[in-house]
Amino acid sequence: MSAHAPSDDSFHGHAHFATPPPGVTVRHDWTLPEVRALYALPLLELIHKAQSVHRAVFQDNKVQLCSLLSIKTGGCPEDCGYCPQAARHHTGVKAEKLMPVEAVLSSAAQARAAGATRFCMGAAWREVKDGPQFDSVLEMVKGVKALGMEACATLGMLSESQAARLREAGLSAYNHNLDTSAEHYGDIISTRTYDDRLRTLERVRKAGISVCSGGIIGLGESVEDRCGLLLTLANQEVHPESVPINALVAVKGTPLENQKPVESVEMVRTIATARLLMPLSMVRLSAGRKQMNEEAQLLCMLAGANSIFFGDKLLTTGNPEYAQDMALLEKAGIRPMEPDMSR
């Protein structure tokens, strides 16, 4: 086996390679003009560049299926302008208690049976509070891992000790999106700073948990903001192992309810640029997929997306049906990743 050939057990939802294969360079010193120049390339040239890198790193033409469950819905004290779960927004989302551990693990088992290899649990909290609820989340993480799935959580801000406890429970990845550029962030959220988000990512990384961090396009940001978000992610000391790219799902009752839908081409450009900036990362085609036709979704995969969230709901917004997803992948000859019982 060559130094760069993937082994059977070297791919766990992230890159095949601990170091980049020949011809692929991993950088952490990108400049904004460089990122803007990539984003502005003629679309077919951009896709070709991104696909070339993608094929060099991810050689098995597989897509990871991820399932996301809202384990604690609504009542969040934050004011994120896009989020229907904020208590101050009148969206019809009712605050609910944390789900019982058994119910969450039942959902995880169903997701695994349907083909998911990663199960993400989302709680509408500003930050994690120590106590019985956090202890329940730790039990959920242990249970998901026992099913042979990657366990991911998004619970808001974390302390160092909480990150360490999640790691001890077996958490594979922690999702904490930057959402947009530092410059545009204050127009979207005022209850948590950009530095708060970066500090949480540092604590996750320090605890030895994989980082899942991306953003949302369609928040009224400029192209420079969009590139600034990707620049911040790509210039971290270690790239996020997972980079979800979301398109805003405008929900009535939120401050961003009247935003125009994101054009599919902009999703493709953002995904392709992310693939070029962070070649070893999983790039996840996330929220907003329901608004895209099959051809647009496949174009995103061609541009470097190799993970999708599936199921009928992403937290509180719709998502393509499972049968549709399976039919699309089958038509395209794209195989889902198999569960890895070693994780």
Binding residues for [2Fe-2S] cluster: 120, 152, 212, 284
Q: Which of 112, 205, 284, 289 is catalytic?
A: 284
Is the Cβ–Cβ distance between 289 and 319 less than 8 Å? yes
Q: Which of 66, 152, 227, 300 is catalytic?
A: 152
Is residue 300 part of the annotated active site? The answer reads no
Is residue 83 part of the annotated active site? The answer reads yes
Q: Which of 66, 83, 227, 300 is catalytic?
A: 83
**Angstrom distance (rounded) from CA 77 to CA 180:** 20
Question: What does DSSP say about strands 118-123 and 313-314: parallel, antiparallel, or unpaired?
Answer: unpaired
**Angstrom distance (rounded) from CA 204 to CA 197:** 11
φ, ψ for residue 328, nearest 5 deg: -65, -50
Q: Which of 66, 112, 118, 120 is catalytic?
A: 120
Is residue 227 part of the annotated active site? The answer reads no
Report angle CA 291, 310, 175 to the nearest 5 degrees. Answer: 100
- Hey, how many other C-beta atoms are within 10 angstroms of the C-beta on 129? 12
Q: Which of 76, 197, 227, 300 is catalytic?
A: 76
Q: Which of 66, 197, 205, 212 is catalytic?
A: 212
Q: Which of 80, 205, 226, 300 is catalytic?
A: 80
Annotated binding-site positions for [4Fe-4S] cluster: 76, 80, 83
Is the Cβ–Cβ distance between 67 and 106 less than 8 Å? no
Query: For the residues of 243-298, what is the DSSP string, one character each?
Result: EEEEE----TTSTTTTPPPPPHHHHHHHHHHHHHHSTTSEEEE-TTGGGS-HHHHH
Is residue 212 part of the annotated active site? The answer reads yes
Annotated binding-site positions: 76, 80, 83, 120, 152, 212, 284
Residues assigned a catalytic role: 76, 80, 83, 120, 152, 212, 284
